[in-house]
Structure 1
Amino acid sequence: MRRRTLFAIMLVAGLVGSSGTPAQADPVRQEDPSNAWTADLATIDNDDTNVTHTDGRLRIADPATSPASLRLPVPEGTLVLAAHPLETPADLVTADLTGKAAVGVTVEVRGRQTDGEWGEWRETGTPLPEATLMVQVRVVLSGTNATIAGLALTATLSRSPGLKAATPGLTYRVFATREGLVGGTTANGHVITSRDHFVALPSRRGLAARNAGDYTVKVCTTSGALRCEYAPVWDVGPWNTTDDYWNPAATRQSWKDLPQGRPEAQAAYQNNYNGGKDQFGRTVANPAGIDLADGTFWDGLKLTDNSWVNVSFLWTGTGSRATVGSGLLNIRTAPNTSAASIGYVANYARVPVECSTTGTTVTGTYRTTNQWNRLASGQFISHAYVASIAGGAVPAC
């Protein structure tokens, strides 16, 4: 009876296909669901970054590795645990750590929402936006002495399971700088290449795993010809690491007295907030709220200098999401290959799809089709390059 109930739950959440076969989603433990479990800290795989398990402890693997966008020698490592099914709905996960270093260990959790998307990462002990039957935990180590020997987790329900936080798509005008740093390593372990396509935000709450786009932003120019790019969040910075400025004060991790949508670095630079310093005590030299990889900066937006941009934090929105694979995909003004391109969808990015229509037949990475997907912004992408769509069926336009 339990297996049948779990299957029904997973089907609704989009974790299995209607045929009963697993959908393309995050790995799920093959164990009975439970609301109290012990984390496996010893298994390190390709979605983990700069961590190792030796002498019974999880620790930093390379003390010389730190997030490229921070431009600081502060070593960081992340262990992303497998998604874990719960026996009963919960919106609060608490952590019991053993052998924890005095400082430098943070345990974070996210839940799969009713629309099939993962919610934002939150510190354990902080309620999730809504009750869920699937959670994922990650351990972040900061500093050479950060270690942990054991981790026990408990999920509980702190409020009515029917209560869901409002999730409008949030868009703010912020200052963008070019990250550069080719050859450096991002906070999720990606080695930066020439003309790369990703962004950095000053908070891990919106940090995607390497080669994933579950946290994607849409970045658009605010002057001249409109150019946009949908790009995954693969690094932490600029300036800060706990400034999720897109969130309201009730959930914002730091700088809660600032207006929603105002990065701390911008307030420090423009208004001498925090004495003009960032969280590390550095004098803020520009008001940056986002870093753009070179390809996003030069090719996607065609910028020639640091600039103000509009940034949409897509995981705060709702609706179906298409995942793009195999390189850059043109965003076109109409559903045909002769229509003007106004930018790109970067590899692994997940974009909000409003509806589908027909247009030019295209042979792409995944199929030959005349289907085009209209994005929430009103532009179009060819379905030939879409790896998958999650969050519900896409209606005809």
Structure 2
Amino acid sequence: MRRDPRPTALPGAVRPAARLVRRGPAAAVSLLALVALSLTAGPAAARDAAPADGPLGSVSWRADLSVPSGDETNVSRADGALRLRDPHVRPASARSPRGQGTVLLPVHRLDRAVDRITPDVDVTLPAGSQVVVDVRGQDGLGRWTEWREASADDPAVLPRAVTRVQARIVLVAAADGAVPGIRALSLSAELDVDDAGPSVAAAASLTATVYATREGLVGGTTANGHVIVADDHFVALPSRRGLSPKGSGQYSVRVCGPARCETAPVWDVGPWNTRDDYWNPSSTRESFKDLPRGRPEAQAAYLEGYNGGLDGSGRRVLNPAGIDLADGTFHNVGLNDNGYVTVEYLWTAAGAATTSFPTWGTDVNIRQQATSASTRVAQLAGPTTVRVQCQVRGQLVQSNGYSNDAWSYLPDYGGYVSNIFIDNAAGWLPGVPNC
């Protein structure tokens, strides 16, 4: 039998007939109330999960590669496989000699929270070619994580729990033009709360001063499949981790030049490098981890001789560029020639601070939304400490004459828990903002 929650009341909430006395974060109740607690079912948030639900473990699914996704570039289908169509078509900014194609798969909705994703691929790989699977996730607040490359030997670990996952397949030709193919893709995912970091303070998105070059290349194709037009407005950054889907601004930057600022989406990969997410902290940077955050590898190579003055592909770096600007963006911010600009990487904000609180109770459900009718995405087996990011008014949860409609969002679990299960005297948690 589950233990009933300690009554937690909000101003104006219904109170039981028995007198309640607060003693620290919990409440002491009269003997009459204790008897009532032992005979009464728990609140809706705990009561609605039948034992048949079982524990929430890993989940797996198979991507349907037979149906065009609607967001594909330079791929074809033959003999039940996806193949790179033309080994000569490549992303404009990177200026790589190797052809590339991409497939953005539909978003997959999960019935549980996950933060570790492992792909299983069936591929044809001529020598020197590549098939890469990138994944990202969307959390309960609607925020996308960055893309992370994943493999069977090195799963992608996302920075927070998510309940929607999207995969992107990147096919890269060999230097001799041989093309790869992929016949099947399955993904498995699980929640590893042990990966959650410590509480962090809110932090603004990164702003850095970097050297900008003009991309030009009208008629070329960007890494997300956009065909460049005259007076175009977008930017290229040297990593796929911050690459927006075609037509979207999900990853955007604010570029400030001599005349004005412009917010532009990231639609291409380059210049110079393709694995240099220099806007991330050194500890999570994909490559060149010994460089400080905000310094592009090309800048360090050109100005300081880093990596022997070469980029990640072994080419001699001829300018310190850390961003390419499409023609329209280049001229709009006031550049007449290549030069330094100030760039804010808008998706890199650390978000709201979290506050840790103890919980109590067993088999406490965490929901996708602030209602017990919503999908259960995780469960707290017993008392623990959770990080609360924000709180909302949701379904009214009642127990033994007490009522509370406050729910807390737990970023490590990707969902909401009724505040009745937070071991705190206040129904509306002090110091925690609204979601």
Q: Distance in 1 between matches of 2:106 and 2:294?
A: 32
1:273 is matched with which residue?
306
1:307 is matched with which residue?
339
Q: Distance in 2 between matches of 1:310 and 1:132?
A: 32
**Cα deviation code 1:33-69 (max 9, x no counterpart):** x820011122224322111221122111222210011
**Other structure's SS at 1:119 match:** coil
The partner residue of 1:77 within 71, 76, 101 is 101
Q: Distance in 1 between matches of 2:285 and 2:195?
A: 23
Contact 2:236–2:269 (8 Å) recurs in 1: yes
Contact 1:229–1:296 (8 Å) recurs in 2: yes
**1:22-171 superposed matches below 5 A:** 35-101=59-125, 103-124=129-150, 125-143=155-173, 144-159=178-193, 168-171=204-207
**1:285-300 superposed matches below 5 A:** 285-299=318-332
Higher relative CO (CA 8 A, sep ≥ 6), structure 1 or 2?
Answer: 2
Q: Distance in 2 between matches of 1:136 and 1:164?
A: 26
Q: Distance in 2 between matches of 1:177 and 1:119?
A: 27
**Cα deviation code 1:293-348 (max 9, x no counterpart):** 0000012x02111111111111112779xxxxxxxxxxxxxxxxxxxxxxxxxxxx
2:249 is matched with which residue?
213
Contact 2:139–2:162 (8 Å) recurs in 1: yes
Change (3 A) 1:205 1:65: same
**Other structure's SS at 1:295 match:** helix
Query: Considering only aligned residues, what root-mean-square deviation do their CA atoms show, in Å?
Result: 2.4
Give the Å deviation of 1:264.
0.7
Give the Å deviation of 1:100.
4.3
Give the Å deviation of 1:145.
2.3
**Cα deviation code 1:154-177 (max 9, x no counterpart):** 001122597688564111111100
1:259 is matched with which residue?
292
State the identity as a percent. 55
Structure 2 residue identity aligned to 1:140: V
Structure 2 residue identity aligned to 1:282: R
TM-score under structure 1 normalisation?
Answer: 0.68
Which has the larger displacement, 259-268 or 92-101? Answer: 92-101
**Cα deviation code 1:212-246 (max 9, x no counterpart):** 1111111112xx55x10000111110001111011
Structure 2 residue identity aligned to 1:244: D
Q: Distance in 2 between matches of 1:45 and 1:165?
A: 38
Structure 2 residue identity aligned to 1:313: Y
**Cα deviation code 1:134-157 (max 9, x no counterpart):** 111111111142221111100011
- The structure number with the bigger radius of gyration is 2
Unaligned runs of 5+ in 1: 1-33, 321-393
**Other structure's SS at 1:127 match:** strand
1:237 is matched with which residue?
270
The partner residue of 2:315 within 265, 282, 296 is 282
Q: Distance in 2 between matches of 1:115 and 1:51?
A: 33
What is the number of residues matched between the two proteins? 287
Runs of 4+ displaced beyond 6 Å: none
